[in-house]
Structure 1
Amino acid sequence: MMTGRWPTILLLWFAGVLAAAQLGKMAALIPAIRADLGLSLTSAGLMVSLIEAGGASLGAVAGILAARFSGRAVLAFGAILVATAGIAAALAPDATLLYAARLIESIGYLMVVIAAPSLIAMTAGRDSGAALALWSTFVPIGIASGTILSGVAASWVDWRLMLVFWALAMLTTLPGTLRLPAMAEHRQTGFAVPPLAIWALALGFGFYTTLEVGVLGMLPAYLSDAWGLSIGTAGVMTGIASAATIAGSFAAARLIGNGDDAQRPLALVAIGLVVPAALFFVGFPGEGLASALSGSAVAAAVIAANAVSGLVAAVAFARLPMLLRRSGAALSLITASNGVFAQFGAAGSLIGPPLVGYVASRWGWSTVAPVVAGLSILSLAGFAFGERLAARR
């Protein structure tokens, strides 16, 4: 049952969705941007991935620094920074300034994804499991929204106008953010570092994002190159696979249980990693199995794998405040902890696609499955180690 906290929770989630839409918008608009500014394919790929640069390089430090300020102020300033950078990108006369705007946008994005889940954890109370499971869907929903809306609009309006649209959309969260009800901000007066349990949990999450984003990032090329699907069909299949993770996230919200039960969340993570790892051996089959499959069957296996893997992200975000409490740490460390999560998650997102691309180009697409299985084992080990460290306080 929804309580009076949910309007606030939904506002914070929506801010995250709009921030994540900034990832999807650029991917959809890149063909038009390349035509206007003469970017190479490599340069275009860098333009898309740059929004993760802030998190991958500064996530932990930014979280520790942000903990000294009001979460609402960090969220509002992050939204303003994203919007300002978006407008600057729309006005950029060349690629250099567009890259600079994208880097600034990455800092704003980082501020939003650190502050919003921290505020959700502070305000959700007994609804924290469901609220943080909802938060875990902000990336797939945001990417899908940014990609689909920008892709449809790109044939009707100039790409610069679409950048302005997304900048203004981000600003729509400001009135609600500034009117957020008073809540315990739990600000740090010093520079405190999260306990080791949080770092282990974040490491497990980082390995998960490496395999998840790696597969999704290279899936259109795989379905097109290896199975002959059209670019449009491969793109639709990838969008469905990304959105399918939402099913696992909402299942986790109902199954995760209370914060004192460590075994159930760990079991859900194991299911969310082991089952998809097995399905990926069908999704990226060897020569013997490949002859019996079609491109549609392979895509279906990857979509099913992603639906189950949504369990992992939901449990990761839900367990973060629980592990802080079990470690004996103060809730004031939630913002710094979200910074650590942002750094490992962003690093995985940056590493994943080139890693999968390198493995496939060197040894063939069928080797992606064992690589994913290895990353799944490392991810599960990180989650298990985090739970063990929290229990040893």
Structure 2
Amino acid sequence: MVDAPCTIRSADPMTCYVKTNWILILILWAAGLLAAAQFGKISLALAEVSVVYAQTQTMLSLAVSVMGVIGVIFGAVVGILVARQGARRAVLFALGLGALMSLLQSALPPLPIFFVSRLIEGVSHLVLVVAIPTLMIQISAPRHYSIVMGLWGMFFGVGFAATAYVLPGIYGVGGVPAIFAVHAAGMATLALVLWPLLPRAAREDIPLNWIALHLSLYGNPRVIAPAFGFFWHTLMFVALLTFLPDLISDMPWVATALPLIALCGTFSVGFLTRYIRPDQIAVISFVGTAVLMGISGGSLWIILPAFFVIGLLPGASFASIPYYNHTQTDVARANGAMAQLGNLGTSTGTPIYALVIADFGFPGLTVLTTVLCVAGILCLVIIRKKIVRMGE
């Protein structure tokens, strides 16, 4: 198959890759797994960290949520900073910063310093989730954009699963300090590996004004389209993973099966986009989720395939970034918007579902999910019309 012309451009014309650099793609994806572990190393060892600091798990859970707050506030800003400084510099900086914060945490500093380190680590995480997919698109052939973004869409789920797998062994060897030390070593190692491999790019002179930036960002339908679909998904996904297993089954494997099935849906998007536009796949995901959850009646055997359909959405959202945006700057801005709205959805969705379930149980969960799916469909349809009017 002959590749399509290079579409992602910058002020300093980047190399048009006629072959995808799969080795570098996989190394960057591994860096994404370590970015996911920035959340997982605390949330999956919350009980152990709480014992070390003699605090309740509720108190220490703030060390998880504080990283999401960084994404909500600065997601769009980081998108521009990555475009200004270049994704290579951003990734190396973020890996180094993350390694330093994990190393500090391995010393078990006083609790206030620990929380400050998590706040700073939130900056590292945010830069990574904006810069890595920007780089992955840059080093991919155009025909592989959707497959590469489908792979990237799996990073958080796979990263969490991998962290859950290795964490008990690490804890058994050296306790909580070893968890942080191994994470620091992993990030530092990848920074050294990537240093000579990542393509260099000139800095771009892009003005940085927080208010003007958000006004221009959210006024550009091409840049914001992927993020708005992703937002309604994140409002649902973590909450459904949190509450559904206990509501529909007493079998422990269900909690593991649901995210794995969703990951299969996410990865399949890379192949589906050869025949269907990414935004159409996103609409299909919302429609299928609403229908299957609505008719499930709590049946496990309907909810399992529903999670494959739910998993289509993140893959479609990431694939929409290079589909709609054709410059490095806009790709970085779109990734920043994804991080911003994704963190907003993840932070607010679970408490909203908790309130609804407390009063209305499983029927309330299905109604709320349907409402969010309808809102997602309306957003995507409206934004698509604006893009068409602009001239696709």
TM-score (norm. length: structure 2): 0.85
- The reply on whether 1:102 has 2:99 as its aligned counterpart is no
In structure 2, how many angstroms separate the alpha carbons of the residues matched to 1:211 and 1:65?
30
Indicate which of 329, 351, 354 corresponds to 1:354. Answer: 351
Q: 2:85 aligns to what SS in structure 1?
A: coil
Whether the aligned pair in 1 keeps the contact of 2:226 and 2:334 (CA below 8 Å) is: no
Instruction: Report deviation, 1:19.
Output: 0.6
In structure 1, how many angstroms separate the alpha carbons of the residues matched to 2:303 and 2:71?
27
Give the aligned length: 365
- The reply on whether 1:141 has 2:158 as its aligned counterpart is yes
- The reply on whether 1:342 has 2:339 as its aligned counterpart is yes
Higher mean C-alpha displacement, 271-280 vs 186-195: 186-195
Indicate which of 351, 366, 371 corresponds to 1:369. Answer: 366
In structure 2, how many angstroms separate the alpha carbons of the residues matched to 1:39 and 1:218?
25
1:190 corresponds in structure 2 to 207
Instruction: Report deviation, 1:157.
Output: 3.5
In structure 2, how many angstroms separate the alpha carbons of the residues matched to 1:383 and 1:187?
31
In structure 2, how many angstroms separate the alpha carbons of the residues matched to 1:181 and 1:47?
32
Q: 1:213 aligns to what SS in structure 2?
A: helix
In structure 2, how many angstroms separate the alpha carbons of the residues matched to 1:3 and 1:96?
48
Identity score, percent: 25
Residues 291-313 of structure 1 deviation map (CA, whole Å, 9 limit, x = unaligned): xxxxxx53x54443222222111
Higher mean C-alpha displacement, 66-75 vs 198-207: 198-207
- The reply on whether 1:218 has 2:243 as its aligned counterpart is yes
2:279 corresponds in structure 1 to 266
Whichever residue aligns with residue 158 of structure 1, its letter is G
Structure 1 vs Structure 2 CA RMSD: 2.4
Residues 209-264 of structure 1 deviation map (CA, whole Å, 9 limit, x = unaligned): 111122123345x35xx7555xxx2xx43232112222112221111127xxxx63
Structure 2 unmatched runs, 5+ = 2-17
1:41 corresponds in structure 2 to 57
In structure 2, how many angstroms separate the alpha carbons of the residues matched to 1:200 and 1:189?
22
Whichever residue aligns with residue 222 of structure 2, its letter is A
- The reply on whether 1:131 has 2:148 as its aligned counterpart is yes
Change (3 A) 1:362 1:45: farther
Structure 1 unmatched runs, 5+ = 291-296
1:70 corresponds in structure 2 to 86
1:277 corresponds in structure 2 to 290
Change (3 A) 1:205 1:362: same
Higher mean C-alpha displacement, 264-273 vs 191-200: 191-200
Higher mean C-alpha displacement, 54-63 vs 151-160: 151-160
Instruction: Report deviation, 1:79.
Output: 0.8
Within 5 Å, which residues of 2 pair with 1:195-274? 195-219=220-244, 222-223=246-247, 227-228=249-250, 233=252, 236-257=253-274, 264-274=277-287
Moved over 6 A (4+): none
1:305 corresponds in structure 2 to 306
In structure 2, how many angstroms separate the alpha carbons of the residues matched to 1:187 and 1:162?
38
In structure 2, how many angstroms separate the alpha carbons of the residues matched to 1:332 and 1:190?
12
- The reply on whether 1:386 has 2:383 as its aligned counterpart is yes
1:294 corresponds in structure 2 to none
1:79 corresponds in structure 2 to 95
In structure 2, how many angstroms separate the alpha carbons of the residues matched to 1:51 and 1:269?
27
In structure 2, how many angstroms separate the alpha carbons of the residues matched to 1:188 and 1:318?
27
- The reply on whether 1:180 has 2:194 as its aligned counterpart is no
Instruction: Report deviation, 1:280.
Output: 2.7
Change (3 A) 1:22 1:331: closer
2:66 corresponds in structure 1 to 50
